[in-house]
Chain A
Amino acid sequence: MNAPLENRLFDPAEALPADALRSLQTRRLAETVARVSRVPFYREALARVGVTPESIRSPDDVRRLPFTVKDDLRRNYPLGLLAVPRAEVARVHGSSGTTGKPTFVAYTRKDLEGWSGLCARFLVAGGLRPEHLVHVAFGYGLFTGGFGLHQGIERVGAGVIPAAGGNTPRQVMLLRDLRPEVLVCTPSYALHVAEVARAEGTDPRDLGLRLGHFGGEPWTEEMRLAIEGEFGIAAFNNYGLSEVVGPGVSGECAARGGMHVAEDHFVVECVEPVSLEPVPDGVVGELVFTSLTKEAMPILRYRTRDLAALDRSPCPCGRTGVRMGRVVGRSDDMLIIRGVNVFPSQVEEALLRVEGAAPHYLIEVARPGTLDEAVVKVEIRPRDFSDEMRQMVDLRDRIDHEIHSVTGIRMKVELVAPNTITRSEGKARRVLDHRKERR
């Protein structure tokens, strides 16, 4: 591994003292409420709850605002939530729209500047310096990843190779020949690049990369270790979504104890996904963001469906922005079993701990009497099958133990034969909730 990173701030605002941050947030929240009253959707929603810009006295007043969900964006397709005249739009991006029509977001010139500054923050926090050359293997297009990171890198003053997505052998060639110090892509693509490099006879460690900034999808600590081992780099996590701004909402510093949220640009809340009440720090809940500086398309209390915990303890790096942990799942997938919130991703994490790779599993929940019962069916892999009953029982017990330690509840673990859990459209179904069938 490389020498420890020198801690450097891109923007002094990253280390604003708490008082200064709160008064800045209050002022900007009031401005945002004023700005969105030009949008019919928000004007009506604000009128219903009786919030005016003048009534905003602290950042906590954000809780009086109405929530916004993905469907609100769809209902206002394509640009119904625009808060500035169309002539002021400098760029349009969009979500992938895997489940139907894409949703669009718009930026003014000033929005683009603010956004590139946010990307520059996490890039510098994670070691990017003006003398570096960065290989960006994110798609350039409606997706915010490519252009967002590209602008951020240029803002830092570093060089960019806009490799974009696809054609992995060519990506390996670019990495080998141009020798960038930094790789930017999704974590799963980084592992794929390493695989392809290896298949071509190039040791990924010989590419000379030193840093990686990965985002665009949830990943695990195990993946971080795998990527760092493959390339011999330090790997950093960043977070963002187009509805909020794109990448740059938060990112890791050298301490890597969570991603610092740019709180001078966003108010973040962490809520229980059903009651929508705030959860205590350290407890996983759904992240909700309110933009504070966006002009073209400000957003109020956007429910991200992303599940993570917040950490307000001081960070050794000196940044004051609250840190969010890794995204551990989506609230759409959440199960409530005997009153405890459980996510399929937690079961997956437990299985990874036991076997070293994610096998196929299915969580079945039923309520035969008055209590919920959860059964996890885990497919065994031929190489895990032992002729010894003791070893098989031991395998089941270890899975049982890990699931209990990760989720906090007991589930009945059943080992099942390979390929017996139904797969649909290439994606395995993870949950079968029989309780819903009776309602």
Chain B
Amino acid sequence: MKIRQLSLFLENRPGQLRVPCKILGDAGIDVLTMSLADTQQFGILRLVVKDSEAAKKALEAQGVVVNLTELLAVDVPDRPGGLASVLEGFEKAGLSVEYMYPFARGPRATLLFRVEDPERAEKALSQHGVQLVPAAELLARTAAR
């Protein structure tokens, strides 16, 4: 059900973002979506790819620090208040959202959520009537294009 995400440590200086992108490109790994969080001094690049194990291996072989984490993918109803209703599901379960970013490909408004307890969040959202997108389906959508 959950989506695997790669998190990369980046120093905040010119050329640092290109390095992992180049490594993945050389390894023939397609980046499905990404998000960059940064402070003045360092950044964390978050990526979703098809084969996260292969990507992790390729990056680590080049000395990049990589962390694997799990995200929840949610199709957000494309109408006013759509996101609010999804967030309500987290709130009711007392779960905080660490961060979120859009899944850039596919026909729908899909958001990726990083929460403190993905297992519990999964159940809570289902109970709240929120549609979660399983990893296989999310990846299939990108292939269908």
Contact = CB atoms under 8 A, between A and B. Distances in A.
- Chains A and B bind each other: yes
B42 A392 contact: yes
Contacts of A181: none
Contacts of B75: none
The 9 closest A-B pairs by CB, nearest first: A387-B7, A385-B65, A387-B69, A387-B67, A382-B65, A385-B9, A389-B37, A415-B42, A416-B11
Interface size class for chain A?
A: 10 to 19
A414 interface: yes
A147 B67 CA distance: 52
A417 B7 CA distance: 13
Interface in A203-237: none
Interface residues of B, number: 20
Contacts of B37: 389
Interface in A13-38: none
Interface string A386-420: 11110011001000000000000000001111111
B65 A392 contact: no
A417 B98 contact: no
A262 interface: no
B17 interface: no
Contacts of A419: 63
B83 interface: no
B79 to A, nearest CB: 31
Interface of A: 380, 382, 385-389, 392-393, 396, 414-420
B124 interface: no
Contact of A389 (B11, B44, B66, B67): B44
Contacts of B98: 388
A388 B44 CA distance: 8
Given A388-B98, A389-B44, A417 B11 contact: yes
B67 A385 contact: yes
Contacts of A392: 9, 39, 42, 44
A416 B99 CA distance: 23
17 contacts: A380-B9, A380-B65, A385-B7, A385-B65, A386-B67, A387-B5, A387-B7, A389-B37, A389-B99, A396-B41, A414-B11, A415-B11, A415-B42, A417-B9, A417-B64, A417-B65, A418-B65
Given A387-B46, A388-B98, A415 B65 contact: no
A387 B43 CA distance: 10
A385 B69 CA distance: 12
A389 to B, nearest CB: 5
B50 interface: no
Contacts of A416: 11, 42
Interface of B: 5, 7, 9-11, 37, 39, 41-42, 44, 46, 63-67, 69, 98-99, 114
Contacts of B67: 385-387
Given A417-B9, A417-B64, A387 B41 contact: no
Nearest to B46: A387
Given A389-B37, A393-B39, A420 B65 contact: no
A419 B39 CA distance: 21
Contacts of B64: 417
Given A416-B11, A420-B11, A389 B63 contact: no
A389 B69 CA distance: 13
Contacts of A418: 63, 65
Contacts of A393: 39
Contacts of B66: 382
Contacts of A386: 67
A414 B41 contact: yes
Contacts of A380: 9, 65
Contacts of B46: 387
Nearest to A388: B98
Contacts of A387: 5, 7, 44, 46, 67, 69, 114
Nearest to A414: B41
Contact of B41 (A382, A385, A415): A415
A387 B47 CA distance: 11
Nearest to B19: A417
A417 B114 contact: no
A385 B9 CA distance: 7
Which among A386, A414, A417, A420 has the greatest number of chain B C-beta atoms within 10 A? A417
A418 B42 CA distance: 13
A420 B63 CA distance: 9
A388 B67 CA distance: 10
Contacts of B9: 380, 385, 392, 415, 417
A382 B56 CA distance: 12
Contacts of B99: 389
Contacts of B10: 417
A395 to B, nearest CB: 10
A410 to B, nearest CB: 15
Contacts of A420: 11
Given A389-B99, A392-B44, A419-B63, 5 more contacts: A380-B65, A414-B11, A415-B9, A418-B63, A418-B65
Nearest to A377: B11
A193 B67 CA distance: 35
Contacts of B11: 414-417, 420
